[in-house]
Amino acid sequence: MNKNEGEIELIRDFKKGDSRAFEKLFQKYHKKLYAFLFNLLHSKEDAEEIVQDTFIKIWQKREDFIDGYSFHSFLFTIAKNAFLNLNRKKINRVVFEDRLNFLEEISSERTDDYIIFKETKEIINTIIEGLPPKRKEIFLLRKIEGLSRKEIAEKLDISIITVDNQLMKANIYLKDELKKYSLLLLILFLN
């Protein structure tokens, strides 16, 4: 049996749920994948986390693997997508924090403005806390974590339609509550 036939057999066993075959595939590819990710991220922790997440996702999606398709390509495609998602989340978090920092800087120029900013922030947090728990979780995953609707649906094991419905209800609730406080400027900020 040559190398290629051995890997084909491993992949067949892996697709059937054989954890030993999965372990062998992990041993074969994890160092290459880690090196690839470390080169992109320059972070040991982030590279290790994506390697772990990639292999978890590979195991969960093993039945979706198409016979004859390169396992190497399958693995690196999932890792590349995880890398892109991580970067998108970091960028969203930075943008969100920059917006808040900007507002805080503007507000701190004058004591009155600073107090109003702090009170407004507390009001927003109180309004968000008023959301039903699942709706709040979906809202925070979308607006703070920057997850896509599909990622939220997969993470929470719900449909994308449910995610959309909950986000729509959360936005309507937030806008209505903010109007009560005459915070129209903040409504624009949330959009």
What's the chain look like in SS3? CCHHHHHHHHHHHHHCCCHHHHHHHHHHHHHHHHHHHHHHHCCHHHHHHHHHHHHHHHHHCHHHCCCCCCHHHHHHHHHHHHHHHHHHHHHHHHHHHHHHHHHHHHHHCCHHHHHHHHHHHHHHHHHHHCCCHHHHHHHHHHHCCCCCHHHHHHHHCCCHHHHHHHHHHHHHHHHHHHHHCCCHHHHHHHC
Length of the chain equals 191
pLDDT class for 146, splitting at 50, 70, 90? Answer: confident
pLDDT at 116 over 80: no
Measured CA to CA, the distance from residue 93 to residue 124 in angstroms comes to 18
pLDDT at 112: 61
What pLDDT does residue 72 have? 86
Whether 109 shows a pLDDT value over 60: the answer reads no
Q: How far apart are CA 75 and CA 77, in angstroms?
A: 6
All domains of the chain, ordered by start, with CATH? 3-87 (1.10.1740.10), 110-190 (1.10.10.10)
Mean pLDDT of 113-131: 78
Pick 111 or 121 by higher pLDDT: 121
Average pLDDT of the chain? Answer: 81
* CB 87 within 8 Å of CB 45: no
Question: Which residue, among 191, 136, 145, has the nearest Cα to 167 in the 3D structure?
Answer: 136
Which has more confidence, 74 or 180? 74
Whether pTM > 0.75 for this model: the answer is no
How many other CB atoms sit within 10 Å of the CB of residue 37?
Answer: 25
The answer to whether the CB of 21 falls within 8 A of the CB of 13 is: yes
Does residue 86 contact residue 46 with C-beta atoms inside 8 Å?
Answer: yes
Question: Is the pLDDT confidence value at 97 over 80?
Answer: no
Q: What confidence category does residue 156 fall into, taking pLDDT thresholds of 50, 70 and 90?
A: very high
Per-residue pLDDT, 10? 86
Mean pLDDT score, 4-19: 84
Handedness of CA 120, 164, 188, 89 (dihedral sign): positive
Q: Decide if pLDDT at 188 tops 60.
A: no
Position 88 scores a pLDDT of 79
State pLDDT tens for residues 13-64.
888 888 898 999 999 999 999 998 898 888 898 889 889 989 988 888 888 8
